[in-house]
Structure 1
Amino acid sequence: MDGPDVDVGPVAVSDGRVPSAELASRHGYQVLVRVGLVSYGLVHVVLAWISAQVALGGGGGDDASTTGALQQLGQQPFGQVLLWVMAAGLLALVLWQGLEAVAGKPGADVKDQVKNRGRAAGKAVVYLLLALTAIRIATGTGANSGSGEAEETLSARLMSVPFGRVLVVAVGLIVLAVGVSQIVKGVRQKFVTRDLAGGVSRSVVVLGTLGWIAKGVALSLVGVLFGWAAAKHDPKKAGGMDAALSTLRDQPFGPVLLLAMAAGFAAFGIYCLAWARNAKT
């Protein structure tokens, strides 16, 4: 990731490099990407803490979701400043992945370019939503929104149109597919070649493996909840991360499973610190 110590300026492609590769050489841009990845990791560390509290019965009304984690950060000393810094870094990640979605990665063949662009577009959307959430909380316009509220609203709107239940099932299947792909990414350790520039220790690989699997399991549960909402024709049964983790807690050995999930989120958060230092841009 290290490049010449120059400011971010107009992106030129006269040397034949794609815009994402050209921008990646800018020092200021690299710093913002690192801030974004560290911010992404910090959100997951806080999410791990909230999840552990919920598992141990001390979570109270805390929202076990990325939104809840950002709300927790906003309540800390200098929390508002931290949220704005995180938002700036996350928006840099949006730019990074957005350019890769449009221009692709240098050196990849046509088949890989299609996959890479699709993955980059998906990541850009995730980072954008997280950045907008941080901004809303920092400005006080999103502090009271629950994690499952948007999902319930979405499922209710979809169910109100013709073939609505089919659409809700489709959304659930898409979310489930993304969750499964993250599990596969962790199990097969695809993140090592996709995300990291190389030179990382075995412990970083282990952290990434545990983290991606935990994220995939949680997201898969969200997809299942959408399918369950369609089957029961009840939008309230759809939910986000908070509802998924609550569902997990209510299962046999639920607190143990939720603690394991919390450990996975924490592992991902720590992995993001190494990712920030070794990101393949």
Structure 2
Amino acid sequence: MTQPASRPPSDARGDVWVIGDVQGCAGALRALLAHPELSRPDTELWFAGDLVNRGPDSLGALRLIRALGARARAILGNHDLHLLAVAAGVRPPGKSDTFQDILDASDAAELLDWLRHRPLMVRDRGHVMVHAGILPAWTLDQAQALAGEIEAALRQPDWHPALHDLYGEEPLNWDDALRGPDRMRVIVNALTRMRVCHAEDGRMDFHHKGGAHAARGLVPWFDLPGRRDPSEPVVFGHWSALGLHIRPDAICLDTGCVWGRALTALRLRDHRIIQQDCTACR
């Protein structure tokens, strides 16, 4: 299925297509990448995080994306971080995890090393890509610098200890004075887990998992008043209950492939949509 939309400024380079949450649905991803407009060698493919987990073939999905080489720009989502934490012995596997195939693979070390070197934010072509969202208190320059702090910690030779500091819901608000684990948790939670916040003070809420119409007092992060830097559209995933959502400042591409709905790709220059049916992933 395709959907035309308004045309942002063009770029002299090849097209960029952004792909929503794959979550281990390797078959659907292969079918999507076979589309003529995505298979061109000069096409750049961005992946909005959650490459693995919950789907039937996390190993296949990770190998496929890594094999794209320089054509792929993938960011880390909460499920990707969870895989790294389980691999590091920091977190136990969950009952619904489906990435044991990666941990048992002969190339597990190479795949995990590649994964932990992925960024948490991409900013290019007049767009920003994160897995979940950008706190309204942050400028985009600040968000990029803060994402870099986490990326640097995960890229250290001794990267396991950093994962201990990423888990937990507190603090719920950003403060420039935050240091240590509290600082790291807010950064990671905003970039990879946030959906809604309290309208009164911007506190993140991690209990609402439904659509954009949240409980009273809660609003989608992109609707919070006082966003400091809405100058570039933010493309994100993570929110399958919101689904395909395109507006000038915020674009959600998590269309629930792992739940049997669709895997979505969006072309940045004109926001054209291509979707692959994911019935087989359910």
TM above 0.5, one fold? Answer: no
Q: Which has the higher helix share?
A: 1
Q: TM-score, normalised by structure 1?
A: 0.32
Q: TM-score, normalised by structure 2?
A: 0.32
